Structure 1
């Protein structure tokens, strides 16, 4: 979890503690407040200590319980401020996978040039429907989220329309591991790899592959997307990070450019993809 995010969560917790101690009827202890709310008293200390992130509903209940309902707007604004950057999967997927794709689509629609790096999966902008379906089902199972995978597949397919619009450029790097990872059955991956080879030479797509044998100057780590040098979106198991400060965007741009030095393009990329494709015939 980022330092900035944790500091913001701790600051929110400190504000909650301050409100508890300023209760109009006299300072409340943590157990007293927990009793009023019907919560385990450990939840109060986790929230105040920055160990747990409050929900909007938690903040509304707390502001009412401490006799300061007008504080809710301030507390909710603090929460929205840091959740803009760290978007937990638990919270996002409570709405389903479809809305997650819609938020992505909105950002992509406002972009002209996208730089992407994926180390373990074919990028969503280039996925076939069947491949996307397997990827999304695995994540739905992992997070125990709602079963709206078909809505998400349609949303992801809708995002791919961006590639056909004049003036757009998708500059994407893929590690060879993504070409060989059997996140789906071999026949599905074979069709996906065929699609990748068809994308080579498309005027809106610059597709580079970093082979296993390439010398690299930075470790091929988590995938990320840089949208118009204004926003970075990257993922971890617990959350999706939306990062928009200039220094961070510049850092990810530097990482992308460093990885690009190890990539192959054109016929050489075609050969790496075809080697992965041929290996499926032996499985």
Structure 2
């Protein structure tokens, strides 16, 4: 968990404790508040200690439970402030995958130059519909989220229109391992590899493949996207990180540049893709 996120969570917990101790009807113990709200007492102390992230409903119940309902808006604003950068999958996917894709589309539409690194999957902006569908289904199973797969696929496919607008530029790096990953049936992966090969030579796309045999200056860690050097979007298993601090963006740019040194392009990238295609057809 990021230090900034944890500090914000602890600050919210401190504020919750203040409200409990300053209840208009008299100071409440944690146990008394837990009984009033029908919670375990450990939940109260975890929230106050910054060891658990409150939900909007938790904050509303807390404000009412301590007799200070007007403070709910302040508490909720604090929560939204630090969750705008750390977007937990549990919360994002409560309404399905389509809204997440729509939010991505808004940011992509605002961008002119995008850099991407993916080490485990084909980048979303280069996916076929069938490959995207397989990915969404895998994550829906993992997180138990709403199955709005077709809507999510349509939203992701619309994002690819960005690639055909003059003045746009996608610089994308893909680790060869992502091209081998059978997160879909072999026939779907074969078609996806054809799609990847087809973007080589497009004037809006620069595709670099980092071969498995390449010497790496740094480990091939988690994927991330850099939009116009103003925003980084990175994924972890618990959350999607939206990072707009200039120093953090600069760090990701440095990582991207370092990974780029191991990539091959043009005919060499085509050769890597063809080699992977031959291995997939053998399955």
TM-score by length of 2: 0.99
Matches within 5 A, 1:1-283: 1-283=1-283
Is the Cα contact below 8 Å between 2:200 and 2:206 reproduced in 1?
A: yes
1:260 and 1:135 map into 2 onto residues whose CA distance is 26
**Alignment size in residue pairs:** 283
2:123 and 2:275 map into 1 onto residues whose CA distance is 19
1:210 and 1:101 map into 2 onto residues whose CA distance is 27
Instruction: Specify the SS of the correspondent of 1:93.
Output: helix
1:153 and 1:201 map into 2 onto residues whose CA distance is 25
| Deviation of 1:280 (Å) | 1.2
Structure 2 residue ranges without an equivalent (≥5): none
| Deviation of 1:151 (Å) | 0.8
1:181 and 1:80 map into 2 onto residues whose CA distance is 36
Cα deviation digits, residues 169-217 of structure 1 (max 9, x gap): 0000000000100001111000000011100000100000000111111
2:125 and 2:222 map into 1 onto residues whose CA distance is 17
TM-score by length of 1: 0.99
Cα deviation digits, residues 232-261 of structure 1 (max 9, x gap): 000011100000000000000000001101
2:242 and 2:21 map into 1 onto residues whose CA distance is 34
| Deviation of 1:268 (Å) | 0.1
Cα deviation digits, residues 110-150 of structure 1 (max 9, x gap): 00000000001000000000000011100000000011011
Is the Cα contact below 8 Å between 2:190 and 2:281 reproduced in 1?
A: no
Deviation beyond 2 Å, 4+ runs, structure 1: none
CA RMSD of aligned residues (A): 0.6
2:281 and 2:254 map into 1 onto residues whose CA distance is 38
